[in-house]
Structure 1
Amino acid sequence: MSQFIHVTAPDGHVLQCWHQRAETAPRGAVVVLQEIFGVNTHIRALCQRLAAAGYDAYAPALFDRLQRGFACGYGAEEVSVALKFLPQLDWDAMVRDTLATAAVARQPGGPVAAMGFCLGASVAYLAAQRADALSAVVGYYGGHIAQHLDSPPRCPTILHYGESDHTIPMQNVERIRAARPECEVHVYAAGHGFNCDERAAFEPASAALAWQRSMQWLDTHLR
């Protein structure tokens, strides 16, 4: 079963959140954090994959503060529209919305992880730095993480990067490795967005290996 629900942040903001119920008795919950393209078909497909693996999945609409219900694909014109949101981003607000979603996901009583992609990976990392609400973090190509290495995440964190990512220099990935050795960092023969099968950058072998590692991470830390 899947549907939009509503989540209320501490400041009273009400955001939409895509909720996909686990197909079996849930092993825990995963907050799935979007790219700049909103809670689109790719993010919903990831929720479905997690539900099939036994996790309740929650995908908060992090851009609802800017444009309610925004979601788009990966065509050139759509990318141009999505990029216009970048100067308006309120990282603290996205973290608040993430933690509010984690609180809803925890209501049945099980552990909660965050799995983020691009923008969402950085939000997941920041949320794990600021609160003890998460039991694990999985991040794919989070470009903002290298600017926030002053303190460790408060939960086990695994990060995936593509070695030919045109938006994230490998020196930034090496900075993360050096400054935050408690994080597990993997680099793949791929570019930015390699996990998304709706993008030209999709790299099936790297995506499969990263997903396998991500599922093992959740299995280990959501107990």
Structure 2
Amino acid sequence: MALAVLALVAALLLGAPENAAALGRGLRQECKKNGDRCSLYAEGDCCSGMMCTMPLECSSRGSRSECFPECRKQTLSKLNKVDYPSSSGKTPALEAGQRSRPAVVVMQEWWGVNEAIKATALHIAEQGYRVLIPDLYRGRVALQVMEAIGLASDLNWTRGIDDVVHAVTYLRKTGAKRVAIIGFCQGGAMAFCGAQFAGVNAALPFYGIPNNISGCNPLRIPANVPIQAHFGTNDNSFPVSRIQPLALSMQQAGVNIKLNLYEGLPHAFFNALTPEGRRLLAGNNPNYKQPNETLVTQSFSRMTNFLRLHIRDNK
């Protein structure tokens, strides 16, 4: 190793950058192969053509209740544009996965249908689901926080809920027997609304709560719609002081909700699962720090186990 380091230094001093680069690659640890455990935050550790991501069939790995990131090839990389009928005429959306599979409606954050939510939807589809992302903003996407605030403020929630209701109808009419809804931030609030109005088989709101908009009231969610909610204890947008009393009131009203709290995780932590999501988080927060990877992946494992129980195995 000492000789190799000296050779690298010599190559640099002698002005041979291509030789130095080759020697530098030789000094690095060998890349990780298919199936090797890895860290989501150590991009580039996997061998060429692979990425560090959550494993396929995460919810069915023997008796394990949790999955861990590993190096593998991405099996889905494309979402197809579709339009489905709604009260406003047609709602634009993105879709992936075989039509006969159980389906998941994936609801956008306040940014719109950006690369981060697309990557999240593809990760869910890879677990064996059909996914659909309704475009509530009709093609508009925010890049900065102030833009997102403007788009979110302008959102017509009555039309948005209608988009969700018709998304579920579209999925069922085109092959999906069971449908869940999952959403993040603004989409998390919309997931609560979808659980109330859309007749879904399950709902997973991540760090979002509706504020009595368009008649959406989590206490009125039917008892036969199981809810798995995910919130971080360091969420300044939707703090524990709001979600804990709400979850308790929902339980007292007969709603089937399970609240999962993640110690120390901030708002929007699920974005840390994908490179696109991490770039979004880092680009809009100069003080951004990677959230606890174990807890982030735990939320993914819980999500996949919940989906498998309620829309995949429960036929």
When the two structures are superposed, what TM-score results if normalisation uses the length of structure 2? 0.63
Gap regions ≥5 residues in structure 2: 1-77, 273-277, 282-287
Give the distance between the partners of 1:161 and 1:144, measured in 2 at CA: 14
- Displacement of 1:143: 2.9
Give the distance between the partners of 2:211 and 2:262, measured in 1 at CA: 18
Give the distance between the partners of 2:243 and 2:290, measured in 1 at CA: 20
Gap regions ≥5 residues in structure 1: none
Aligned to 1:111: 178
2:201 is the counterpart of 1:135:
yes
Partner amino acid for 1:196?
N
Give the distance between the partners of 2:79 and 2:153, measured in 1 at CA: 32
2:152 is the counterpart of 1:82:
no
Give the distance between the partners of 1:117 and 1:72, measured in 2 at CA: 15
Percent identity of paired positions between Structure 1 and Structure 2? 24
- Contact 1:165–1:191 (CA under 8 A) maintained in structure 2: yes
Corresponding residue SS for 2:220: coil
Partner amino acid for 2:103?
A
Give the distance between the partners of 1:112 and 1:4, measured in 2 at CA: 19
2:241 is the counterpart of 1:178:
no
2:221 is the counterpart of 1:152:
yes
Give the distance between the partners of 2:158 and 2:102, measured in 1 at CA: 25
Aligned ranges 1:94-105 → 2 under 5 Å? 94-105=160-171
Aligned ranges 1:1-223 → 2 under 5 Å? 2-12=79-89, 14-22=90-98, 27-64=101-138, 69-73=139-143, 78-106=144-172, 107-132=174-199, 134-144=200-210, 148-153=217-222, 154-181=224-251, 182-189=256-263, 190-197=265-272, 198=278, 199=281, 200=288, 202-203=290-291, 204-222=293-311, 223=314
Corresponding residue SS for 1:120: helix
Give the distance between the partners of 1:70 and 1:144, measured in 2 at CA: 22
Give the distance between the partners of 1:99 and 1:48, measured in 2 at CA: 22
Aligned to 2:50: none
Give the distance between the partners of 1:53 and 1:216, measured in 2 at CA: 10
Corresponding residue SS for 2:140: coil
RMSD between superposed Cα atoms in Å: 2.0
Give the distance between the partners of 1:117 and 1:161, measured in 2 at CA: 10
C-alpha change, 1:120 and 1:135, in structure 2 (3 Å) is: same
Aligned to 2:49: none
Q: Which has the higher contact order (CA 8 A, sep 6+)?
A: 1
Tell which structure's C-alpha radius of gyration is larger: 2
Partner amino acid for 1:163?
T
Partner amino acid for 1:185?
L
- Displacement of 1:26: 5.1
C-alpha change, 1:108 and 1:201, in structure 2 (3 Å) is: farther
- Displacement of 1:145: 6.2
Corresponding residue SS for 2:269: coil
Give the distance between the partners of 1:159 and 1:3, measured in 2 at CA: 28
- Displacement of 1:201: 6.0
- Displacement of 1:98: 0.9
Partner amino acid for 1:62?
L
Give the distance between the partners of 2:198 and 2:79, measured in 1 at CA: 28
C-alpha change, 1:202 and 1:94, in structure 2 (3 Å) is: farther
- Contact 1:19–1:56 (CA under 8 A) maintained in structure 2: yes
Aligned to 2:36: none
- Displacement of 1:146: 8.2
Partner amino acid for 1:211?
F
Aligned to 2:66: none
Of residues 32-41 and 100-109 in structure 1, the stretch that sits farther from structure 2 once superposed is 100-109
C-alpha change, 1:202 and 1:196, in structure 2 (3 Å) is: farther
- Contact 1:31–1:59 (CA under 8 A) maintained in structure 2: yes
Give the distance between the partners of 1:121 and 1:158, measured in 2 at CA: 11
